[in-house]
Structure 1
Amino acid sequence: MAHDVMVIGAGIVGISTAIHLLRRGQSVVLVDKNRPGLETSFGNAGIIQREGVRPHAFPRDLATLMQVGLQMSTAARYDPLALPRFAPALMRYWWESSPGHYAHVVKSYAPLIARSIEEHADLIAASGAEDLVVKKGWFLIFRSERALRDEAAKAKTDLELYDIHHRVVDGSEFAQIEPDLRETLAGAIHWTDPWTIRNPGALVGKYFDLFTSMGGEFLAGEAKGLEQDGDGWSASIEGKRYRARQAVITLGPWAPDVLDPLGYRLPLFVKRGYHMHYKPEDGATLNNWMIDAEVGYCLAPMDMGIRLTTGAEFAMRDAAPTPIQLGKAERVARALFPLGERLDPQPWKGARPCTPDMMPIIGPAPRHRGLWVGVGHAHHGFTLGPATGHLLAQAMTGEKPSIDIRPFAMERFGTV
Structure 2
Amino acid sequence: MRYKVIVVGAGMVGTSIAWHLQKHNSQVLLLDKRPPGSETSYGNAGLIQREAIHVHPFPRHLTELIRVLPNQKTDIRYHWSAVLRHHQALLKYWQFSAPAAVQQIEEEWKTLIEHCTNEHQHMIAAAGAEALVRRDGWLEMHRSKDKFGMAVAAAKKSQEQGIEHQVLTIDALKRLEPNGNFDGFIGAIHWSNSWQVSNPGALVKAYAKSFQQMNGSVVEDTVKAIKPDSDGWQVITDQQSFYTDELVIAAGPWSNQLIKPLGYDLPLFPMRGYHQHFKTTVQNTINHSLVDMDKGFVMGPMQQGIRITTGAEMTLMEAPKDLGQLQAVLHFAKQILPLNEVVEQEAWAGSRPCMPDMKPVIGAAGKHDHLWFAFGHGHQGFTLGPITGRIVEELIHNKPLTVAVEPFDANRFSKA
Q: Which residue of structure 1 aligns with residue 170 of structure 2?
A: 171
Contact 2:221/2:239 (CA < 8 Å) preserved in 1?
no
Task: Work out the CA distance in 2 between the residues paired with 1:30 and 1:144.
Answer: 46
Amino acid in the other structure paired with 1:95:
Q
Matches within 5 A, 1:221-240: 221-240=221-240
Contact 1:266/1:415 (CA < 8 Å) preserved in 2?
no
Q: Which residue of structure 2 aligns with residue 303 of structure 1?
A: 303
SS in 2 for 1:301: strand
Task: Work out the CA distance in 1 between the residues paired with 2:17 and 2:232.
Answer: 18
CA shift for structure 1 position 58: 1.0
**Which stretch has the larger CA shift, 271-280 or 142-151?**
142-151
RMSD: 1.3
Contact 1:363/1:409 (CA < 8 Å) preserved in 2?
yes
CA shift for structure 1 position 318: 1.6
Contact 2:360/2:374 (CA < 8 Å) preserved in 1?
yes
- Superposed CA deviations along residues 236-280 of structure 1, whole A, max 9, x for unmatched, are 123322100010000000001111011000000011000000124
Matches within 5 A, 1:15-414: 15-160=15-160, 162-184=161-183, 185-280=185-280, 283-414=283-414
Task: Work out the CA distance in 1 between the residues paired with 2:406 and 2:339.
Answer: 46
SS in 2 for 1:318: coil
Task: Work out the CA distance in 2 between the residues paired with 1:365 and 1:325.
Answer: 36
SS in 2 for 1:307: strand
Task: Work out the CA distance in 1 between the residues paired with 2:163 and 2:383.
Answer: 15
Paired residues, what number? 415
Amino acid in the other structure paired with 1:361:
V
Contact 2:179/2:283 (CA < 8 Å) preserved in 1?
no
SS in 2 for 1:56: coil
Contact 1:280/1:340 (CA < 8 Å) preserved in 2?
no
- Superposed CA deviations along residues 290-334 of structure 1, whole A, max 9, x for unmatched, are 110011000001111000000000011121111211100000111
CA shift for structure 1 position 231: 2.2
CA shift for structure 1 position 63: 3.1
Task: Work out the CA distance in 1 between the residues paired with 2:403 and 2:222.
Answer: 32
Contact 1:16/1:207 (CA < 8 Å) preserved in 2?
yes
Amino acid in the other structure paired with 2:38:
L
TM-score by length of 1: 0.97
Identity %, equivalent residues: 39
Contact 1:281/1:340 (CA < 8 Å) preserved in 2?
no
**Which stretch has the larger CA shift, 294-303 or 86-95?**
86-95
- Superposed CA deviations along residues 92-128 of structure 1, whole A, max 9, x for unmatched, are 1111111000000000010101010001000000000
Contact 2:283/2:338 (CA < 8 Å) preserved in 1?
no
Contact 2:246/2:371 (CA < 8 Å) preserved in 1?
yes
CA shift for structure 1 position 415: 7.4
Contact 1:140/1:291 (CA < 8 Å) preserved in 2?
yes
Task: Work out the CA distance in 2 between the residues paired with 1:348 and 1:98.
Answer: 34
* Structure 2: runs of 5+ lacking an equivalent: none
SS in 1 for 2:340: strand
Task: Work out the CA distance in 1 between the residues paired with 2:67 and 2:108.
Answer: 30
* Structure 1: runs of 5+ lacking an equivalent: none
CA shift for structure 1 position 281: 5.8
TM-score by length of 2: 0.97
Amino acid in the other structure paired with 2:19:
I
**Which stretch has the larger CA shift, 279-288 or 349-358?**
279-288
Amino acid in the other structure paired with 2:72:
M
CA shift for structure 1 position 183: 3.0
Amino acid in the other structure paired with 2:170:
G
SS in 2 for 1:341: coil
- Superposed CA deviations along residues 189-222 of structure 1, whole A, max 9, x for unmatched, are 1111101101101111100100111101112111
**Which stretch has the larger CA shift, 178-187 or 281-290?**
281-290
Amino acid in the other structure paired with 2:48:
I
Contact 1:8/1:14 (CA < 8 Å) preserved in 2?
yes
Contact 1:264/1:415 (CA < 8 Å) preserved in 2?
no
Contact 1:265/1:415 (CA < 8 Å) preserved in 2?
no
**Which stretch has the larger CA shift, 173-182 or 368-377?**
173-182
Contact 1:362/1:375 (CA < 8 Å) preserved in 2?
yes
Task: Work out the CA distance in 2 between the residues paired with 1:279 and 1:37.
Answer: 22
